[in-house]
């Protein structure tokens, strides 16, 4: 049985490795990741994981894994920070506030059955000083990351409270992923 990872994220590859899983193929899905007008964060992240999974062709006897992670403040979706200005805006918004980090994973079994699970975690950062935001932006860690930060880097030092899945906050909830792989018939210990 072969496994396909539908993601270009090095974090998702690393997290799969924590399950003892090495994908046979890695393909980056090419989809439009723009939220729909009025789309709620939960619906958005589930749709993204499912669309990423559907966008990659599978061969016979292949199981496919796709995931998506988004940061939400209320109903607002904080996308991937494309530049320093977007990252600054995101960090100012989440400064001293609780925010949700939603990670969805979709697994398509060899028979074509697709199953999707959602991990919803809550993170609270300290209230940032302007110089802390600028210093963090200068590290480059949050560039291209949902919400403008990477929890597994120096941003972890700003966390005052957290509830949920640490791996989900990183980008692939391992508990949900493991259970979906097992239900798809992938051999895990």
Residues acting as catalytic residues: 68
Q: CA 48 to CA 51: how far, in whole Å?
A: 5
Residue linked to tokens 């802390």: 132
Query: Nearest-CA neighbor of 72 among 101, 112, 37, 105?
Result: 101
CB contact at 8 A, 9 and 66 = no
Q: CA 141 to CA 155: how far, in whole Å?
A: 9
């Amino acid at each position: 049985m072969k496994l396909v990872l539908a993601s270009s994220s090095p974090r998702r590859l690393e997290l799969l490795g924590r399950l003892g899983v090495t994908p046979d193929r890695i393909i980056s899905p090419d989809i439009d990741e723009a939220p729909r007008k009025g789309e709620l964060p939960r619906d958005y992240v589930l749709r993204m994981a499912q669309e990423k999974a559907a966008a990659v062709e599978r061969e016979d006897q292949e199981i496919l894994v796709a995931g998506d992670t988004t940061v939400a403040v209320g109903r607002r979706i904080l996308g991937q920070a494309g530049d320093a200005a977007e990252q600054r805006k995101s960090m100012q918004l989440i400064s001293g506030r609780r925010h949700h980090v939603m990670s969805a994973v979709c697994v398509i079994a060899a028979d074509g059955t697709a199953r999707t699970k959602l991990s919803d975690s809550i993170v609270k950062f300290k209230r940032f000083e302007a110089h802390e935001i600028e210093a963090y932006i200068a590290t480059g860690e949050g560039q291209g990351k949902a919400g403008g930060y990477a929890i597994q880097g120096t941003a972890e030092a700003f966390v005052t409270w957290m509830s949920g899945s640490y791996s989900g906050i990183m980008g692939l909830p391992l508990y949900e992923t493991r259970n979906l792989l097992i239900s798809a018939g992938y051999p895990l210990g």
